[in-house]
Amino acid sequence: MLKINGLYQPMLANRIITGNVYWVGTTSSTRNIDGQDLPSHGNDPRKPFASLDYALSKCTADNDDAVVILAGHSETLTGAGGLTLDVAGVSIIGMGRYDARPRFLMDGSAITGLVTAANVSLENCIFAAGHSDIASALLVTGKGFRLEGCRFELNTTNENFVNYINGGGSANQCDGLEIINNVFDSGVDIGMINPIDILYNANDVKIMGNKIMGDFQTSPYAAIYAVNTVVMFNLEIGYNMIHNLHDANAVVGISAGSTASTGWMHHNIVYALDTNTGTPFVSAATGIAMWDNKYAHAANISAYQMPTLGTYQA
């Protein structure tokens, strides 16, 4: 972190934020000052705002603004759109490691998080389901959204998400979506359907390096899914690790892409309790190249590769 012109400027992915920087602090801090916009309030980590939503309300669209959330911060989000990321170009950065990261309890049955603005990024936060069968943690209808290094989990037994990430409310709304190096942990709860679900046609979607765990026993079973009528151009799904407790013959890993789609599905690892040798990787698209994907199931202690070495599958 650098101090420029008396203000603290964080670095994000080896670049300096050039816009305004607003800080959000722990809810127990006596320095929380939502609604008290005196000089330097919210612009200094020693005088943070109390909530992410209030900090976002101070940001300017397409100004390269950032909201930095201090380690140990926690908030409860209630109702549909309890978290709404509606300022274009804002970077939201959580501080701290492991369980010191900012934690958001999503408490309500509706879609709690909405990403409606373009080119927003969100990184290094924890999101916990505080209600049974929350429709979705995040519905992404803004282009260029990047989710990186976050964790999604249950708050306690039977408090769960049905989906974690839903991409798009109509065609091409979630173009440029990137879901990178996150952990999605549903435990043994059976309420989850598809952790990552691309709902409509989309370009340039990248789903890389995620860990996805749960019992995805409701059709269509796959941890990463796009119905085979959805057209995906320049899709890349790679280096994801999936542990699916589902134990019937089904698409237990990744299913994405219509016949017109293009892209790559590579270096993914799937394990499932499917003793019937389910189908771990599926694409209807001749334009989606598959290579070096591996699958193992409970009845076979040796993993096998898809496609088989020495062959090409597209």
- Residue 245's CB is within 10 A of a number of other CB atoms, namely 20
C-alpha torsion 123→127→133→136, nearest 10: -20
Q: Which CATH number fits domain 71-306: 2.160.20, 3.10.20, 3.90.550, 3.30.70?
A: 2.160.20
pLDDT at 277: 60
Buried b (16+ CB within 10 A) or exposed e, 194-228: bbbbbbbbbbbbbbbbbebbbbbbeebbbbbbbbb
* Rounded Cα distance, 68 and 167, in Å: 25
For the chain, which residues make up each domain, given as ranges? 71-306
* Rounded Cα distance, 115 and 130, in Å: 20
pLDDT at 84: 95
Amino acid identity, position 89: G
pLDDT at 249: 67
How many CA atoms are closer than 13 Å to the CA of 9, on its beta-carbon side? 15
Q: What is the pLDDT along the chain (314 residues), one digit of tens a residue?
A: 555 555 555 556 566 788 999 999 875 444 555 555 554 567 788 889 999 999 999 999 999 999 999 999 999 998 888 899 999 999 999 999 999 999 999 987 788 899 999 999 999 999 999 888 888 999 999 999 999 999 999 988 788 888 999 998 899 999 999 999 999 998 878 777 889 999 999 999 999 999 999 988 888 888 999 988 899 999 999 999 999 888 776 778 898 878 889 999 999 999 888 666 667 888 777 788 888 899 887 766 556 676 665 554 55
| Contact yes or no for 3/44 (Cβ under 8 A) | no
